[in-house]
Amino acid sequence: MSVRNPVVTALKTWLIPRRYGVMRWSYSLQRISGVAITLYFVLHIGETANVIGGSQVWSIPSYEYARQVWTETVEFLSNPFFDAGLAVLAFLIFFHTSNGVRLFLTHFGILLGKPHRPEYPYHPASMTKAQLTIFWVSILLAVAALLYSLNIFFKVILP
Amino acid sequence: MSREARIMMLHYITGLVIIVAGAIHLATVFLVSPYEESLRFDNTPWSVINVYRNSLLAGSLEALLLAVAFHGFNGLRVILLELHQGRTWTRAVNVAVTVAAIAVVINGTKTIFIASML
């Protein structure tokens, strides 16, 4: 029997949500989106530092210098690759927020089923219809945000 | 409440702050004016510099910065502490995540502060 690296096993359980039901998908998506959004957040703070001329600026720069650096930044970032990335981020942010509301409610015991004697086929009491509904509403909101941003960036759906 | 329970409570509170401040941020960029105009440096009502000069909007950006820095880096911390356990690892993760969050907050606050005075 091979000895498995526990870190690899842990990563597999959260990156491969198949065969465990819809709540495992919720768990995986919540984590993947969270990590992706945090990464974007750090880059976004670096990117917006160009409003004042860049991260290395520690005093008030000249207005024209800041204006020039920001205009160049916007030009550099306005290409299909970054726009597609932002559209994916819109999906992840809206899913994470809406599904996060479900987790918030769950944490305080709202919308959780009542405990009962375990009987075949062992449906967990916590997986109520309201829980599943909020998960699917989160997916819908995320898809809507994806389509909205694709339309903003690429004008593909509406003129 | 234990330390970890307090941190988790703050995780949920910052989550709620992000819903409000994030909605304001997205609205100023996408809803109140065309996206291209929002990205301009100046000369449009909702241009970058006009948003930073509005103290209410700049304040909500600062709130968003603080809340996302805490929420995001605490989320990373939870994931990293779940992947591997140990006293040294826990301390290293806690320190690394705190230092990174503070660095991002300092950088972002500086941008908001200087941009509002440009």
What is the CATH classification number for the domain harbouring B23? 1.20.1300
Average pLDDT across chain B, whole number: 95
| Of the candidate ranges A15-24, A61-70, A71-80, A106-115, the one whose mean pLDDT is the lowest | A15-24
Does residue A39 surpass a pLDDT of 70? yes
Q: B84 and A6: CB-CB below 8 Å?
A: yes
Query: Closest Cα partner for B110 from B60, B65, B73?
Result: B65
So what's the pLDDT on residue A2?
58
Q: What are phi and psi of A158, to 5 degrees?
A: -115, 150
| Chain A residue at shortest CA distance from B117 | A60
Structural domain including B72 reads: 3-117
More confident residue, A9 or A94: A94
> Region A45-64: what's the mean pLDDT?
94
Measured in residues, chain A has a length of: 159
Q: Which residue has the higher pLDDT, A141 or A19?
A: A141
Q: Which residue has the higher pLDDT, B59 or A127?
A: B59
Closest partner CB to B107 (pick from A10, A45, A100)? A45
pLDDT above 90 for A116 = no
Q: How far is A119 from chain B (nearest CA, A)?
A: 31
pLDDT at A102 over 50: yes
Asked whether B61 and B53 are in contact (CB, 8 A), the reply is no
CATH number listed for the domain at residues A6-154: 1.20.1300
Before A121, cis peptide (omega within 30)? yes
Of A7-21, A88-102, B16-30, B70-84, the one with minimum mean pLDDT is A7-21
Residue pLDDT, tens place only, B62-114:
999 999 999 999 999 999 999 889 999 999 999 999 999 999 999 999 999 99
A157: pLDDT strictly greater than 90? no
pLDDT (0 to 100) of residue A125: 79
Nearest to A49 among B49, B84, B107 (CB): B107
Query: A158 pLDDT exceeds 70?
Result: no
What's the gap in Å between the CA of B76 and the closest CA on chain A?
7
Among A3-12, A24-33, B32-41, the minimum mean pLDDT is found in A3-12
pLDDT over 90 percentage in chain A: 62
pLDDT, averaged across chain A: 90
CB count within 10 Å of CB B110 equals 16
Q: What is the pLDDT of residue A1?
A: 45
For residue A98, which residues of chain B lie inside 8 Å, CB to CB? none
User: Is residue A17 pLDDT above 60, yes or no?
Assistant: yes
Q: Could A60 and B117 be called an inter-chain contact, meaning their C-beta atoms sit closer than 8 Å?
A: yes
* A107 with B19: Cβ contact below 8 A: no
Per-residue confidence (pLDDT) for residue A3, from 0 to 100: 63
- List Cα–Cα distances, B107 to A22, A104, A151, B66, in angstroms: 39, 30, 32, 11
- Per-residue confidence band for A127, with pLDDT thresholds at 50, 70 and 90: confident
Q: Which two tokens stand for residue B92?
A: 């290293």
Element (H, E) at A1: none
Q: Is the ipTM of this complex over 0.90?
A: yes
Q: Please state, in angstroms and rounded to a whole number, the distance separating the CA atoms of residues B26 and B38.
A: 11
Q: How confident is the model at residue B31 (pLDDT cuts 50, 70, 90)?
A: very high
Residue A119 pLDDT grade (very low, low, confident, very high; cuts 50, 70, 90): confident
Which SS3 state, helix, strand or coil, does residue A118 take? coil
Query: Can you say whether the dihedral through the CA atoms of B82, B87, B90, B93 is positive or negative?
Result: negative
The structural domains of chain A, with segments of one domain joined by +, span: 6-154
Q: Structurally, how many domains does chain B consist of?
A: 1
User: pLDDT band at residue A60, thresholds of 50, 70 and 90?
Assistant: very high
Phi and psi torsions of A110, nearest 5°: -90, 140
* Closest of B35, B32, B100 to residue B68, by C-alpha: B100
Sequence-separated (6 or more) residues with CB below 8 Å from residue A24: A17
